[in-house]
């Protein structure tokens, strides 16, 4: 079994990297082959929204290292991702990679479906985790991974995670769950993504990440949530296929019909004296 570790942080031997290294070392001790990459060592350019990968089903025309990263993900049997919390959100490099990974979401066969993954989110100040766990979960679930463990670690200064014996032990436990595919380690409330981020909709609660609904219950004197449609969350292969076939792919033809009207109305904005960047870009539609 091969386990790939992805570090989504600029800091070498920072808390995110040390968490990944601890998981990988434990996996090695249990016989796995491992590899670690730092996303910041690679060229990852922003998605331009050209949608060629969706509507023309061709490789992304952007010349950078994303294809190489995808190849490493496909070659590994399991994945561990660590990403720090910056201003209530994950570090932007992880979102940039996700934006460039749409081809892995719909191309058949979906090569990453049901592969086990672990998400670790270091953060510095209590109650400033924000939406980092949700965003990290979206990265994994949208690509087809099955989250077997996910947790936040409070470690503000570089390397402070090494002083937290419980956090390091949790990293080693995560390695075992990766190799066994055991899902008991997820924190939070949602049984799919393991997050505690919920919405209240029509007297029900909803996980905005997985789009499943439940009701608040009291069990043993504690508030909890009982979900009723867990098996039909948005990330199932069937629902992802339906999403692209019924909602994304047809939007191309619809847009071509309305584009002449959009171009006509654009004329009003081309006449102004608004400042432009160094180079005026082409219309992206």
Least confident of 17-21, 88-92, 207-211, 214-218: 214-218
pLDDT at 192 over 80: yes
Q: How far apart are CA 272 and CA 1, in angstroms?
A: 59
**Mean pLDDT throughout 176-183?**
89
In this prediction the pTM is: 0.90
pLDDT for position 17:
97
**225-266 per-position pLDDT tens digit:** 889 889 999 999 999 999 999 999 999 999 999 999 999 998
Q: For the packed helices 165-180 and 15-29, what is the interaxial angle rounded to 10 degrees? A: 50
Q: Which fold has domain 2-187?
A: Rossmann fold (3.40.50)
Q: In what order do the strands lie in the sheet with 2-7?
A: 33-38, 2-7, 78-82, 116-123, 146-154
Supply 13's token pair.
């031997």
* Residue entry with tokens 């010349």: 63
Can you tell me the distance from the alpha carbon of 149 to that of 170, in angstroms, rounded to the nearest whole number? 10
Q: What residue ranges do the domains of the chain occupy?
A: 2-187
Q: What is the residue-averaged pLDDT of the chain?
A: 91
Query: Residues 141, 147, 152, 155: what is their CA dihedral angle, to the nearest 10 degrees?
Result: -100
User: What is the C-alpha separation between 209 and 180, in angstroms, rounded?
Assistant: 25
């Amino acid at each position: 079994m091969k386990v790939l570790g992805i570090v989504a942080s600029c800091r070498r031997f920072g808390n995110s990297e040390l968490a990944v290294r601890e998981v990988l070392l434990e996996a090695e001790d249990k016989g796995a082959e491992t590899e670690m990459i730092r996303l910041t060592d690679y060229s990852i350019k922003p998605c331009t929204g050209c949608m060629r990968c969706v509507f023309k089903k061709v490789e992304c025309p952007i010349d950078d290292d994303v294809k190489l990263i995808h190849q490493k993900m496909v070659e590994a049997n399991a994945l561990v991702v660590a990403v720090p919390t910056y201003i209530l959100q994950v570090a932007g490099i992880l979102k940039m990679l996700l934006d460039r990974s749409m081809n892995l979401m719909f191309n058949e066969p979906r090569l990453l479906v049901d592969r086990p993954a672990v998400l670790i989110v270091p953060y510095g100040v209590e109650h400033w985790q924000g939406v980092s766990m949700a965003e990290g979960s979206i990265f994994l679930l949208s690509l087809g991974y099955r989250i077997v463990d996910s947790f936040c670690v409070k470690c503000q200064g570089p390397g402070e995670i090494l002083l937290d014996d419980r956090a390091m032990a949790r990293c080693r436990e995560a390695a075992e769950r990766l190799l066994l595919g055991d899902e008991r380690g997820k924190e939070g409330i949602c049984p799919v993504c393991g997050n505690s981020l919920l919405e209240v909709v029509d007297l029900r609660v909803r996980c905005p990440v997985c789009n499943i609904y439940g009701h608040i219950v009291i069990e043993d004197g504690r508030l909890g949530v009982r979900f009723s449609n867990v098996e039909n969350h948005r990330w199932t292969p069937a629902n992802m296929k339906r999403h692209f076939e019924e909602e994304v792919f047809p939007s191309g033809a619809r847009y071509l019909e309305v584009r002449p009207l959009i171009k006509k109305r654009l004329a009003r904005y081309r006449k102004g004296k608004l400042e432009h960047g160094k180079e005026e870009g082409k219309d992206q539609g």
